Amino acid sequence: MKSQPAPAALRAYRLFDRLIMAVDGLARGPDTHAPGDDSNPAADLPDTPLSDTERRRSAALMRVNHTGEICAQALYAAQSAWTTDPAACTTLQAAGHEERAHLDWCATRLRELESHPSRLDAGWFAGAYAIGTAFAVCGDAWSMGFLDETERQVVAHLDDHLARLPRGDRRSAAILRQMQRDEARHAASAMRHGARALPLPLRLMMKGQAALMKAVAARI
Ligand SMILES: [Fe+2]
Ligand SMILES: [Fe+2]
């Protein structure tokens, strides 16, 4: 009769499995396929003409948001690969699906504004994937705490961008408002899955890293 693997061997197998998933997720990069639905909140709004200055300002803001969604894809992919809680995994994957829709809306709006995503998106994705993995391997409470803090910071950031968009850019504003509602829901679901409050130095580091990303992605 074949003997069952020892618990330590099972644990080692699971760890190896997760490592393979993590490397695979990193190698695949962001999922940029359109969500295949008509969920874009700007779809039915008129594309009001903008001056060149306004168009460039909107494009810089939407490029930052596009990069943010690339990072969100990386975080959710990394964290769903490492979570040990099946319910949390389902929630992370569902949120990741919504982030993919956000990414598509931002990409569409950038094209409408005759602009382009950040040329450094591959690097942002890899960096976010590494950070997401680092929190995820510390356990679900840290992982969810990191997600909760990330989504809260994104909600505040979107307030700032909504205030800075040109007044006539209703299509970008509709996208950012829907994203803000979704990100707030993602933060709430992280709390429901036992998010641990992150210490202040970590929260400040995250803000600093996000500020760097925003400054660079707006230009490159
Ligand atoms: Fe998002
Ligand atoms: Fe989110």
Distance 5 CA to ligand 1 centre (A): 41
Reported as a single tens digit per residue, the pLDDT across 32-67 is: 666 666 789 998 888 888 999 999 999 999 999 999
Ligand nearest to the backbone CA of 76: 2
Distance 100 CA to ligand 2 centre (A): 10
Distance 193 CA to ligand 2 centre (A): 15
Distance 71 CA to ligand 1 centre (A): 9
Q: What is the pLDDT of residue 52?
A: 93
Please, what's the b/e burial string for 144-153 (b: 16 or more CB within 10 A of its CB; e: otherwise)? bbbbbbbbbb
pLDDT band at 11 (very low <50, low <70, confident <90, very high): very low
Distance 16 CA to ligand 2 centre (A): 28
Q: What is the pLDDT of residue 135?
A: 87
Q: What is the pLDDT of residue 23?
A: 63
pLDDT band at 182 (very low <50, low <70, confident <90, very high): very high
Domains of the chain: residue spans and CATH: 53-217 (1.20.1260.10)
Distance 11 CA to ligand 1 centre (A): 33
pLDDT band at 8 (very low <50, low <70, confident <90, very high): very low
pLDDT band at 170 (very low <50, low <70, confident <90, very high): very high
Distance CA 188, CA 31 (A): 24
* Burial bucket for residue 2 (CB in 10 Å: 0-12, 13-18, 19+): exposed
pLDDT band at 84 (very low <50, low <70, confident <90, very high): confident
Residues 62, 109: contact at Cβ < 8 Å?
Answer: yes
Summary mean pLDDT of the chain: 85
Distance 9 CA to ligand 1 centre (A): 38
Distance 99 CA to ligand 2 centre (A): 6
